[in-house]
Structure 1
Amino acid sequence: MDEEKKKRRQSVPRTPGQPFTKDELSADAKRRASYIFKEFRAAFEFIGKYRKTVSIFGSARLSEDSTHYEKARQLAAKLSKLGYTIVTGGGPGIMEGANRGAFETGGGSVGLNIKLAEFQEPNRFTTDNMEFYYFFTRKVALSFAAEAYLFFPGGFGTLDEFFEIVTLIQTKKIRRVPVILVGSDYWRPLYNFLRNDLKDGHRTITDADLDLIKMCDNDEEIIKIILESPTNHGNGNHAV
């Protein structure tokens, strides 16, 4: 198609339901690829500033008076005092509780926020934050260079992040660091399912796979697990 035909075609208004042309799809793919690359590069530069981090995940829907919110706040404060920067998805709920604990102790409190149809403001307890358009670039940033991943009760998003990180460690795409489920009242049914059905019943995972996951509610024990694990010190959580 010559340039004159392209111009004429582009000037015709698109009718509802009209399929995209091959050229339009190709141009859109290139535009998206460029934007994705820029977001990845910005994310690596942003998170690479922090040399010692713990990523904390959990529901955006839990209120300030939730016991899990307060647990995240207290545990993050203790980790912050030990020199860890706390990294969350930057939203409300558990994320806010964790950021708040770090913020109130004067430590690093990072939020990696996401643009949603229902706009989600970064919580007010971050010392630094970055906004993402794509979920997958944000997930890479949340899993990059962390010394541990702590999972509090959450919904689909938290479960998605949990299974992705466990799979990345299982397949040696990222180094093994502690993956800790905090809040046994919420996590025990899932842990029992993994052990009894997947491991013992169907044998679709192994003892070694299940051993990648710890479930613990005691702050001191959680901190001990993290301190006794080899750390990355900001070098990137890459495969061995």
Structure 2
Amino acid sequence: MMRSYRRGPILLRGHQIPDSTTDARLLAPGQDSAWVHSDPWRVMRIQAEFVEGFGALADLGPAISVFGSARTAPGEPDYELARDIAARLVADDFAVITGGGPGIMEAANLGAVEADGISVGLGIELPFEQGMNDYVDLGINFRYFFIRKMMFVKYSLGFIVLPGGYGTLDELFEALTLVQTRKVESFPVILVGREYWGGLAEWLEKSVLAEGMMSPGDEKLFTVVDTAEEAIEAVHAGLKAVVHARNGGDRGARAEDAE
């Protein structure tokens, strides 16, 4: 019978069996420091990022995430629009979460601070320096995109998405996929700027839906608006629809009417 060797939950046989134990390797002198970059150690870093994120955001309260381009400069229409949206969210007792960077993210954090609200930034380690903008009151920097995405989804009641590039599209479609597959409870996804997002909405309906690449209704998982006022109205309408669905939809409404 082939010899077996167990290392925690791992079963090793044949040439996979090590010539020393885990304890022996741990205590051996003169070790190469490269071990800290190995995959098993990376798991501990991942765990630590989850713990830090959960700990920092657990008591945040109702929050809405605002996404958009890091390239948008102060004073540009979309920058001022994001700033206005964030201030309105704070007025309605929401915290504002962004990616913590410049552009639209900075604008939303600025709007939240100016309205005396909670301004959160979830940053990410990038090969080029981006940094946390000056208007973040509560900031967390992540190594891993997937952990950062988890925090956005877990601690947000909805997403407001202004014009942006690949990063913005990534966050948008991540959210829509989670809603479509029912991995998360449905929440409002608001796209701000009909001129910017109209082509995407049309393509999803006339190409993706028409070719049978999505189910009827999936093209309606988001709402497209133009103004800050419309964005806030869409957030509240979306949250009301979530509560309605959670309470049994029409059945719940009929039960309330009967009372």
Normalised by the size of structure 1, how large is the TM-score?
0.84
| C-alpha displacement of 1:147 | 1.7
User: In 1, distance between residues paired with 2:201 and 2:237?
Assistant: 23
Map residues 123-142 of structure 1 onto 2, 5 A cutoff: 123-142=133-152
Q: Distance in 1 between matches of 2:91 and 2:123?
A: 24
What SS does structure 2 have at the residue aligned with 1:229?
helix
Superposed CA offset, 1:161-203 (max 9, x none): 1111100000111111110111122111111110110012x12
User: Would you say the 8 A contact 2:160–2:231 is kept in 1?
Assistant: no
Alignment of 1:11-22 (within 5 A): none
- SS of 1:143 mapped into structure 2: helix
Alpha-carbon shift at residue 9 of structure 1 (Å): 10
Q: CA deviation at 1:225?
A: 2.1
In structure 1, distance between residues paired with 2:133 and 2:65: 16
Query: Whole-Å Cα distance in 2 between the matches of residues 145 and 176 of structure 1?
Result: 14
The 3-state SS of whatever aligns with 1:207 is coil
Task: Look up the SS of the partner of 2:200 in the other structure.
Answer: helix
Q: Any idea what the Cα deviations from partners look like across 1:9-60, whole Å, max 9, x if unmatched?
A: 956x99xxxxxxxxx69x8111011110110121122222211100011111
Among the aligned pairs, what percent are the same residue?
37
1:208, distance to aligned residue in structure 2 (A):
1.5
Asked whether the equivalents of residues 192 and 225 of structure 2 are also in contact (C-alpha less than 8 Å), the reply is yes
Q: Secondary structure at the match of 1:228?
A: helix
Q: After TM superposition, give the deviation of residue 138 of structure 1 in Å.
A: 0.7
State the partner residue of 2:243.
none
1:4-43 equivalences in 2 (<5 Å): 28-43=38-53
Match of 1:111 among 117, 121, 136: 121
Q: Following the alignment from structure 2 to structure 1, what is the Cα–Cα distance between the partners of residues 57 and 68?
A: 20
Q: Describe the SS at the equivalent of 1:111.
A: strand
* Pairing of 1:93-104 with structure 2 (within 5 A): 93-104=103-114
1:3 deviates by 4.4
Q: In structure 1, how many angstroms separate the alpha carbons of the residues matched to 2:115 and 2:30? A: 60
Structure with more relative contact order (C-alpha pairs < 8 Å, separation 6 or more): 1
Match of 1:179 in 2: 189
Partners in 2 of 1:31 and 1:10 — Cα distance? 15
AA matched with 2:155 = A
SS at match of 1:92: coil
1:191 and 2:201 equivalent? yes
- Relative distance call for 1:46 and 1:9 in structure 2 (3 A) is closer
- Provide the aligned C-alpha RMSD in A: 2.4
Q: Which residue of 2 aligns with 1:17?
A: none
In the TM superposition, 1:203-222 aligns within 5 A as: 203-222=212-231
Distance in 1, matches of 2:115 and 2:166, equals 31
Which residue is equivalent to 1:2? 19
Rounded to whole Å, the distance in 1 between the matches of 2:76 and 2:176 is 27
| Paired AA for residue 55 in structure 1 | S
**SS, match of residue 157 in structure 2:** strand
- The one of 63, 72, 76 aligned to 1:66: 76
Q: Aligned residue for 2:236?
A: 227
Alignment gaps of 5+ in structure 1: 15-23, 232-240
The amino acid of 2:221's aligned partner reads L
Distance (whole Å) between structure 2 residues aligned to residue 74 and residue 230 of structure 1: 20
Aligned match of 1:235: none
- Which amino acid counterpart does residue 218 of structure 2 have in structure 1? D
Deviations 1:84-111 (A, max 9, x none): 1000000000000111111111111100
Residue 155 of structure 2 is matched in structure 1 by 145
Counterparts of 2:31 and 2:117 in 1: how far apart (Å)? 53
Gaps of 5+ in 2: 1-17, 241-259
